[in-house]
């Protein structure tokens, strides 16, 4: 099975990125052929300061390596270094229908009320994402729950391409949405997902937060006055409590029931302390290793350079064939 997934270097990766995606990427390496991409073309759909983008891009690559992704057995690279992504995205811009893009909830969330001022890139973001995956004929895509709709669109695009050109060229892809924390929510608002670009620093745990910062953010996380219920049903109308229990479950490889067997009936004070300790245990080694890797940016660049060459060797012939099917003349 060929696996593809990507992450935007649009800030410091969060606990949501880790539990919803990166941790699963690492786990899927055994027995699969994995291609993991830092999607910098996607990041600039919202303005990024160039110096900050360069820094965030290397940081994101370092985090992936620190989380155990093996760039020798698998492929880790930067999206902008492999031209095939943008080339196929243009073809997909001409295959996808406006009506399909109009239904994308991520665009609505990110553009907010000021739609007229959003970049055209943000609007066609899902077409580029479809190209990222189909340029490798990948069939499995590990993502957080927020990306489910984009993957359905990627399948619609492939199906329409195959139909329009009378071929069976792009395969169907399956989302891999794994674990009890496939959608980690903001620590300040249980109805909003945790995001690296949320203006509120208190809304998220960053993978480079130190122990004191993690403990403080968890202590300040929004909750309600009731103690924790003893059964998962009792979390139904309590999004903030459900979120913290989901994070605890993911970190202990359990589920809401196992967490509530241990902590049900207790107040949030003790539970938050236990959760903060678990988070520090998990995240401190990643932060230490990320710092160590970042001390040698030439090594990171060399890893990414080798990854890009190997990625292009797979994607270029696939995209060249898509261009031939469309009818482009090569002389």
User: At its nearest, how many Å lie between ligand AQP and the CB of residue 166?
Assistant: 33
User: At its nearest, how many Å lie between ligand AQP and the CB of residue 162?
Assistant: 25
Cross-strand bridge partners of residue 38: 7, 78
The single residue of 110, 160, 217, 266 carrying the catalytic annotation is: 110
184 vs 251, beta carbon nearer ligand AQP = 184
197 vs 200, beta carbon nearer ligand AQP = 197
User: At its nearest, how many Å lie between ligand AQP and the CB of residue 299?
Assistant: 23
User: At its nearest, how many Å lie between ligand AQP and the CB of residue 330?
Assistant: 33
- Phi-psi group of 93: left, alpha or beta (phi > 0 → left; psi -120 to 50 → alpha; rest → beta): alpha
- The residue ranges that bind ligand AQP (CB under 6 A) are 6-8, 10-11, 14, 16-17, 20-21, 39, 143-144, 146-147, 182-184, 193-197
259 vs 322, beta carbon nearer ligand AQP = 259
The single residue of 196, 217, 222, 272 carrying the catalytic annotation is: 196
Query: CA–CA separation, 166 vs 259, rounded Å?
Result: 52
Helices within the chain (DSSP H only): 15-17, 23-27, 40-43, 50-66, 84-95, 98-102, 105-111, 120-134, 148-165, 211-220, 239-251, 256-263, 268-294, 297-326
Closest CA to 63 of 11, 24, 4, 13: 13
User: At its nearest, how many Å lie between ligand AQP and the CB of residue 318?
Assistant: 22
Tell me if residue 108 is catalytic. no
62, 290 contact by CB (below 8 A): yes
89 vs 322, beta carbon nearer ligand AQP = 89
Neighbour-count burial for 283-303, b at 16+ CB within 10 Å, e otherwise? beebbebbeebbeeeeebeeb
195 vs 223, beta carbon nearer ligand AQP = 195
102 vs 200, beta carbon nearer ligand AQP = 200
Tell me if residue 222 is catalytic. no
Tell me if residue 193 is catalytic. yes
How is 42-92 classified by DSSP, letter by letter?
HHTTS---HHHHHHHHHHHHHHHHHTT--TTTSEEEEGGG-THHHHHHHHH
The single residue of 73, 160, 192, 193 carrying the catalytic annotation is: 193
**Which residue is nearest to ligand AQP, using beta carbons?**
20
**How many CB atoms sit inside 10 A of residue 141's CB?**
21
**How many CB atoms sit inside 10 A of residue 109's CB?**
12
User: At its nearest, how many Å lie between ligand AQP and the CB of residue 145?
Assistant: 6
Cite the active site residues: 110, 193, 196
């Amino acid at each position: 099975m060929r696996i593809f997934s990507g992450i935007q270097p649009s800030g410091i990766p969060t606990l949501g990125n880790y539990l919803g995606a990166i941790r699963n990427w690492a786990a899927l390496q055994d027995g699969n052929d994995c291609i993991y991409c830092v999607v910098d073309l996607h990041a600039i759909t919202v303005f990024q300061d160039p110096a900050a983008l360069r820094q965030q891009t290397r940081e994101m690559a370092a985090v992936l390596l620190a989380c155990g992704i093996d760039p020798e057995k698998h492929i880790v690279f930067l999206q902008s270094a492999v031209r095939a992504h943008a080339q196929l995205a243009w073809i997909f811009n001409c295959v996808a229908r406006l009506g399909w893009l109009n239904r994308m909830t991520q665009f609505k969330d990110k553009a907010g009320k000021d739609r007229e001022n959003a970049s055209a890139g943000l609007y066609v973001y899902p077409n580029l994402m479809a190209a990222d995956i189909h340029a490798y004929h990948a069939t499995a895509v590990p993502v957080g729950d927020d990306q489910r709709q984009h993957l359905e669109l990627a399948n619609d695009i492939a199906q329409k391409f195959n139909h329009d050109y009378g071929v069976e060229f792009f395969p169907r892809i399956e989302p891999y949405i794994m674990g009890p924390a496939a959608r980690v929510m903001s620590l300040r608002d249980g109805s909003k997902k945790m995001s690296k670009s949320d203006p509120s620093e208190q809304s998220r745990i960053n993978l480079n937060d130190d122990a004191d910062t993690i403990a403080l953010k968890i202590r300040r996380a929004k909750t309600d006055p009731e103690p924790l219920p003893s059964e998962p049903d009792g979390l139904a109308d309590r999004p903030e409590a459900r979120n913290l229990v989901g994070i605890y479950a993911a970190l202990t490889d359990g589920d809401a029931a196992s967490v509530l067997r241990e902590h049900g009936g207790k107040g949030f004070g003790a539970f938050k302390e236990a959760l903060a300790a678990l988070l520090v245990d998990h995240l401190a080694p990643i932060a230490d290793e990320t710092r160590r890797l970042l001390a040698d940016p030439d090594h990171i660049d060399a890893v990414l350079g080798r990854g890009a060459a190997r990625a292009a060797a797979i994607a270029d012939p696939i995209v060249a064939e898509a261009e031939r099917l469309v009818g482009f003349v090569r002389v």
